[in-house]
Structure 1
Amino acid sequence: MGDSATSNEATKDELSQHAEVAFDNLVDSFNPMKNKLNWLLLAAPVALYMNHQHNVALAFIFSMVAIMPLAFLMGKATEEIALRTGEAIGGLLNATFGNAVEMIIAG
């Protein structure tokens, strides 16, 4: 009985460590000092402002600039989920979300 309690505690510790690593990866993926592409995320609020000002040409340009780092972040998130869910579900996620940017642009 003591062995199963120790096993459960070890499993909880492993899950806690995995959660901590995943959170650190999430924070690092948004850090512009770690990934220079994230500086382009600043174009998203500018695009919203341009849309509010009814300047659709500039809103479109800033939206296209902002979607580049978002596509990268979505790809990283899909890869992280695929690592934790298994090969079949990971492949399905990659097939589904791999073309999400193209669907957004075409829509």
Structure 2
Amino acid sequence: MAEQLRGRDRSQPPQLLYARLRAMDPLAFEELLLESLERRGHKVTRNHRYTGDGGIDGQVVIEGAIWLIQAKRYAGIIRPDHVVAFQTLCQSRGCRSLFIHTGRTGLEAEGL
């Protein structure tokens, strides 16, 4: 998928790209994100397991700071409680957060 998105599919309309991302297997979506960050030269740490990961799908070091990652494939509007729970988790660990999703950000989630 990463090769396709960088190559032949790069010029597709955004709605088609989002539809493809939403249709991906959740684990494949997580891996796509982690692989993309690695290709940009960042150090990525993957989880040893995907279930029971405590809400963290991976972590990346960007300019010396640790960022925890949560990947969500939404078909509709994102759930603000998911964002708040992840923010709280990251703050408790003293890390920054990357909440990466395929949904729409509704009014309730703006500014979180």
Bin of the TM-score, shorter chain as denominator length: 0.3 to 0.5
TM-score when scaled to structure 1? 0.36
Structure showing greater radius of gyration is: 1
More helix by share: 1
- Larger relative contact order (Cα-Cα within 8 Å, sequence gap ≥ 6): 2
TM-score when scaled to structure 2? 0.35
